[in-house]
């Protein structure tokens, strides 16, 4: 695309009227900067998703990056998996995200013909023959009542020995720990150059859109979906990533 894909996030620098957060063109334009400055360890999580896929992506299978945004996890996987007998399906319901991702693919920024991006609600995605499925900070934006159905459909569409990777903002049942990690997280964001007003406004905008849960809730739901050997492989403050095996 002709414009700079790495613009600085200034979405919440000015006083805004109350409203829910949306993944529109303004957010898509600065998303790489936004998420790297908003999620501690994000670049590490993405890189390790590539390494996990390198180990578990089966020949002749499909990989699904559900809620792919600009395709960071998809490209990490494509750069790590040593064989070429697989397909990556990068799915997102944001037209602005898919437009920018398609632009990057068309421009040859990432020479991986196995990455196919599609504008679609992940709740409507047909999961088949999957050895790796990624929900990288996606499930938290799905309505809580729809999460069990989605995970069960993912499990049903996976091959034996496949893995599901879920990264999420999390809650803690202990209120003191929950408050501590929220405060530390806000301190992290300030260290990344965000002002208190930006932090407050974004938090308010996300309040009705991003619904976090405890790790125990995630484990229970994954077990009910049929997954085995579920546990956390990365955590920093109130952000964590889990891996679950079929």
Identify the CATH number of the domain in which residue 228 sits. 3.40.50.150
pLDDT value at 16 more than 70 = no
pTM exceeds cut of 0.85:
yes
Higher pLDDT, 11 or 42: 42
* In-domain check, residue 65: yes
What φ, ψ does residue 70 adopt, rounded to 5°?
A: -95, 10
Print the domain residue range for 123.
42-171+209-245
What angle (nearest 5°) sits at the alpha carbon of residue 28, between those of residues 200 and 101?
150
* In-domain check, residue 86: yes
* In-domain check, residue 201: no
What angle (nearest 5°) sits at the alpha carbon of residue 217, between those of residues 187 and 68?
65
pLDDT value at 17 more than 80 = no
What is the predicted pLDDT for the residue at 100? 92
* In-domain check, residue 75: yes
* In-domain check, residue 107: yes
- 187 Cβ partners below 8 Å, 6+ apart? none
What is the predicted pLDDT for the residue at 143? 96
pLDDT digits (tens, 9 = 90+) for 135-174: 999 999 999 999 999 999 999 999 999 999 999 999 999 9
pLDDT value at 196 more than 90 = no
* In-domain check, residue 142: yes
Query: Burial of 47 by CB count in 10 Å (0-12 exposed, 13-18 middle, 19+ buried)?
Result: middle
* pLDDT tier at 188, thresholds 50, 70, 90: very high
| Mean pLDDT score of the chain | 90
| Number of independent structural domains in the chain | 1
Strands 213-214 and 158-171: parallel
* In-domain check, residue 80: yes
Q: How far apart are CA 107 and CA 191, in angstroms?
A: 34
The region of weakest confidence among 30-39, 91-100, 105-114, 233-242 is 105-114
The percentage of residues in the chain with a pLDDT greater than 70, rounded to a whole number, is 90
* In-domain check, residue 52: yes
């Amino acid at each position: 695309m002709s414009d700079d894909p790495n613009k600085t996030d200034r979405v919440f620098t000015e006083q805004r009227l109350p409203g829910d957060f949306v993944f529109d063109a303004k957010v898509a334009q600065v998303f790489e900067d936004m998420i790297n400055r908003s999620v501690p360890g994000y670049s590490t999580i993405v890189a390790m998703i590539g390494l996990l896929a390198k180990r578990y992506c089966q020949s002749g299978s499909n990989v699904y990056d559900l809620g792919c945004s600009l395709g960071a996890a998809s490209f990490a996987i494509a750069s790590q998996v040593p064989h070429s007998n697989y397909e990556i399906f990068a799915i997102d319901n944001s037209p602005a995200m898919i437009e920018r991702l398609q632009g990057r693919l068309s421009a040859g920024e990432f020479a991986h013909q196995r990455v196919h991006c599609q504008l679609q609600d992940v709740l409507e995605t047909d999961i088949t023959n999957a050895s790796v499925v990624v929900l990288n900070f996606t499930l938290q934006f799905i309505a809580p009542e729809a999460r069990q159905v989605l995970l069960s459909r993912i499990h049903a569409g996976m091959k034996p020995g496949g893995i599901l990777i879920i990264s999420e903002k999390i809650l803690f049942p202990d209120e003191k720990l929950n408050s501590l990690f929220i405060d530390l997280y806000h301190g992290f964001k300030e260290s990344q150059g965000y002002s208190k007003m930006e932090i407050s406004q974004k938090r308010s905008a996300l309040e009705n859109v991003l619904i976090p849960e405890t790790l125990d809730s995630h484990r229970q739901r994954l077990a009910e979906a049929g997954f085995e050997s579920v546990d956390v492989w990365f955590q920093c403050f109130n952000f964590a990533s889990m891996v679950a095996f079929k």
